[in-house]
Chains A and B, each alone.
Chain A
């Protein structure tokens, strides 16, 4: 079980690895597409890497609901619970 802060930090590392964005730019209220300019292919790569890192499963149909970084953090947190 990871705290929301730990999940956010882990997610930020994954986003940085995929896109080069600074980890500090990955904040809870940021939209993946609008604010972070992440396209659908990068998003899928981030999702799969997050699944491996946090030991969760994020179904494809769920990905479209993960609009902000916060959405992803809560989904992962709930999936781990």
Chain B
């Protein structure tokens, strides 16, 4: 029998709240974190997209100036979220050799990399900062969190584009089950609201162009959806072997019952139109967690608001849940905070845990005319989840054909 793993700490910094209580309050209310960008580079580079969902609390409001100087913005968000999750867990004593980190990013230190390139071209190699490499490396967030908490059982960085954050939770579960750690701080961070990634995502027609109305741009499942909205921030969870949590009398939010990762091997960016890889991931996560389709009451969907992406996820949910797909409360929280790329799965994992713990499904905003080809029961006003033993799923899919799913169960 595999070790049971529970969730005992949560942290987040997002476009709709700089900590979990604020984010959760807003997620139940239904707010938009998307706004017009005031940066001069929007006009300078004539970007086709003029808006994004920035973190509502700048990392520099939380971190000291000196510690932030040595961190890429993505790492700053990671440390902010991980510190909140760690404090929330209430762990005061720990064998640091049994504490691991699994912290993902989709893109890594893009600000640092491109700032250093600008510096090299404008001022020469002497002016390229000595901290450039440790700041731009994709394992920067995991390394900084490990350093911050004294986690010595390994610091891992799963990278699978927009599935990265969910895959980090999957890695965390595996580490504890395999006996390699008793506690894992896992999560994902992203800070890519920079002109180059915006230009690149826009170039592939992935971003919404609703420049005149940013707050209504992210509209998963809506007939008039036209792309995702860039978001930024981080989410973090403290995973703990159940016996470790019980021994210290910890507050347990939920059980991390099962996780899974699959690959489409279909196309580098387009999702398999039948959602076969996603279906296998959903079924595998439920199997891993010994969960039946009828146990699932809530899904935090990947649902990015792109015309092509939202449909195959419905096909996969239908294939995995059967007739129960009609009665599951589906939340598309990217409608509120945009797409946090490699952080999205981690933030959505936090939201899914809160949904199970608080027994409430968060809100999907901007659903005015639901796509008739996606007849899901979408939560548009906060909805109570049933009493008794319940479970929920959170899906993430990434360029490269990555599918990652976690299954969370009430305790």
Contacts and interface: CB of A to CB of B under 8 A. Distances in A.
B92 interface: no
Contacts of B131: 41, 45
B129 A45 contact: yes
Q: Is the interface of B mostly helix, strand, loop or mixed?
A: helix
A44 B127 CA distance: 10
A48 B127 contact: yes
Contacts of A20: 64-66
Contacts of B64: 20
Interface string A18-45: 1110000000000000000000010011
Nearest to B133: A41
A41 B129 CA distance: 9
A51 B126 CA distance: 10
Contacts of B66: 18-20
Contacts of A52: 127
Contacts of B65: 20
Contacts of B127: 48, 52
B324 interface: no
Given A18-B66, A18-B69, A20-B65, A45 B126 contact: no
Interface string B157-195: 000000000000000000000000000000000000000
Most chain A beta-carbon neighbours within 10 Å: one of B64, B66, B129, B130: B130
B69 A44 contact: no
B129 to A, nearest CB: 6
Contacts of A45: 129-131
Most chain B beta-carbon neighbours within 10 Å: one of A19, A20, A51: A20
Interface string A37-73: 0000100110010011000000000000000000000
Interface of B: 64-66, 69, 126-127, 129-131
Given A18-B66, A20-B64, 12 more contacts: A18-B69, A19-B66, A41-B130, A41-B131, A44-B130, A45-B129, A45-B130, A45-B131, A48-B127, A48-B129, A48-B130, A51-B126
